Structure 1
């Protein structure tokens, strides 16, 4: 595969704290020799693992962009053992616009891996992460939220692990992040070789990987932001990268696997009957879609096909055919 055209201001092999940009060439009408500047930070000191942390994989997901920006400012060479690489706005055009996909090429970065070094900007970013950064890493943490359309309570996402060692590492990191919930992939996940996600890319490179869904709805929650900042530091401490950090007591994590998704089959306004973290039973009515352009028409009632806990809920009231309205998780 061709070499990436992206060039970095940062020398990943040199100790110290470095800040700069990944420079993606982007020639347009207003800037013939322009560049897309993707902010990057590296802190390296002594012997230890390499961890890549990214936010802004989707541009309308905000808690982790803030949490990682704080980490970039607060952590210095003396705090770290190993090499910490941070991308606060991985798909920079999308993050700058506050949209899930890039306004330049409509690219969804988390559906674009392994990317293309000579492709669109989003494809080039995916390729750089998978082929340049991930091969240097022992750990990869990809932080998301529900974006503008969905809302999740703080939830860690992980695979089952392909070996006893990997499973132990994933559980250790899950305990360290200490989110209220964990969505555990019972198949695929981090080792699914055909997955077009960042987690799939890490799996192809043999990197231990976790993802998180942290709120959403296009907002920033004070409580979820605090939990995110705490969880990131606790995870880095658990792998020996923040030796001076003093971890507090665990709260505990409930492990779930997704068993149901409620999908809209009509266009209209959705009236939900449940909220996130509510317990539902098979056959319960999830909500109904109203048709105000035909107010005499009866609403369409949608049912849950499995019982469990509501882990995800759509935020906007207007829905279109194919929209996800709820996800339901059952205890693992």
Structure 2
């Protein structure tokens, strides 16, 4: 059976309910996965689609969009706001990056499959039904339990330069402290890629990490979401703007990967300026006294914008990301 919304998607007012996905399992033969959705609409106008919980351990977007759904007044807007505050609901409920049902990483499952796994079915519904309705899509991420980021909004380099310019304008309106032209090291199956392939305006974020949130990171998410509504003309008020710093992630030299297991010692903190070849972290062998640490170095000049978060690290883990500042 297909996913069925329990609320109308095209009627005025504030509607809160679920996308019901039939899921037969041992403890519920006729069970369902219930993905929360809110639709706030007032007449004709642009449609903004906000997504959080693409990964279940990233909390800034989850909290900001639950609040938006609870507080946005239909009478204050023109157009429609579709809110998916916990897209990968099984992962959110488990506090995990991926779904405990099928192991699916939602942000590697797009465009999905109508006859696939639970994760693929959710991705398929978003790709076929919701994204085509949207003028702008914002997918709110942070680092989850394994990464920590400087707070930034981001767009990608696109072949369609008019589309890229529209995305960059939306990123500027989000107005995070940092704004990134972002290289994805694994873009296949991402919501980003699907939305951009449909010609839509797309903005994503990385707003912190460590599997929690802070008052500062939540304030950035709340302001950014509201600013996008102003930018789209859905809210008539002016956006709240502050300075932002532009950064670029142009190639694979930005990424430093670990090739050994052990305890990671950061040698510089997020926001630090580093030179190519400078040590950014070292990894101590666990339980092997008398052995020296393995030192890892920056692949280019720039600012450290992301790092591995847990104290333990494994071969293949991303240890740090250095981006290129585009301003002084």
Fold agreement, TM-score > 0.5: yes
Deviation of 1:275 after TM superposition, in Å, equals 1.0
Contact 1:161/1:170 (8 A) holds in 2: no
Contact 1:54/1:90 (8 A) holds in 2: yes
Deviations 1:179-235 (A, max 9, x none): 12122036x89xx9x731001110122211110011110111101101110111011
Query: Which ranges in structure 1 are unaligned for 5 or more consecutive residues?
Result: none
SS for the counterpart of 2:122 is helix
Contact 1:56/1:65 (8 A) holds in 2: yes
Map 1:165-314 → 2, pairs under 5 A: 165-185=162-182, 195-243=188-236, 245-258=237-250, 259-314=253-308
SS for the counterpart of 1:309 is strand
Determine the C-alpha separation between the residues in 1 that align with 2:241 and 2:60. Answer: 23
SS for the counterpart of 2:229 is helix
Determine the C-alpha separation between the residues in 2 that align with 1:296 and 1:164. Answer: 55
Contact 1:195/1:201 (8 A) holds in 2: no
Determine the C-alpha separation between the residues in 1 that align with 2:45 and 2:56. Answer: 31
Contact 1:181/1:256 (8 A) holds in 2: no
TM-score, normalised by the number of residues in structure 2: 0.94
Deviation of 1:5 after TM superposition, in Å, equals 1.0
Determine the C-alpha separation between the residues in 1 that align with 2:280 and 2:286. Answer: 19
Greater shift, 211-220 or 7-16, is seen at 7-16
Tell me how large the CA RMSD over aligned residues is: 1.8
SS for the counterpart of 1:52 is strand
Query: Which ranges in structure 2 are unaligned for 5 or more consecutive residues?
Result: none
- 1:317 counterpart = 2:316: no
Map 1:1-332 → 2, pairs under 5 A: 5-185=2-182, 195-243=188-236, 245-258=237-250, 259-332=253-326
Determine the C-alpha separation between the residues in 2 that align with 1:260 and 1:75. Answer: 39
Determine the C-alpha separation between the residues in 1 that align with 2:69 and 2:171. Answer: 22
Residues 249 and 55 of structure 1: is their aligned pair in 2 closer, same or farther, counting only changes over 3 Å? closer
Runs of 4+ in 1 over 3 A off after TM superposition: 160-165
Number of paired residues?
A: 324
Contact 2:179/2:244 (8 A) holds in 1: no
Contact 1:178/1:253 (8 A) holds in 2: no
TM-score, normalised by the number of residues in structure 1: 0.93
Determine the C-alpha separation between the residues in 2 that align with 1:199 and 1:317. Answer: 30
Contact 1:51/1:140 (8 A) holds in 2: yes
Residues 288 and 253 of structure 1: is their aligned pair in 2 closer, same or farther, counting only changes over 3 Å? closer
Deviation of 1:261 after TM superposition, in Å, equals 1.1
Deviation of 1:10 after TM superposition, in Å, equals 1.9
SS for the counterpart of 1:209 is strand
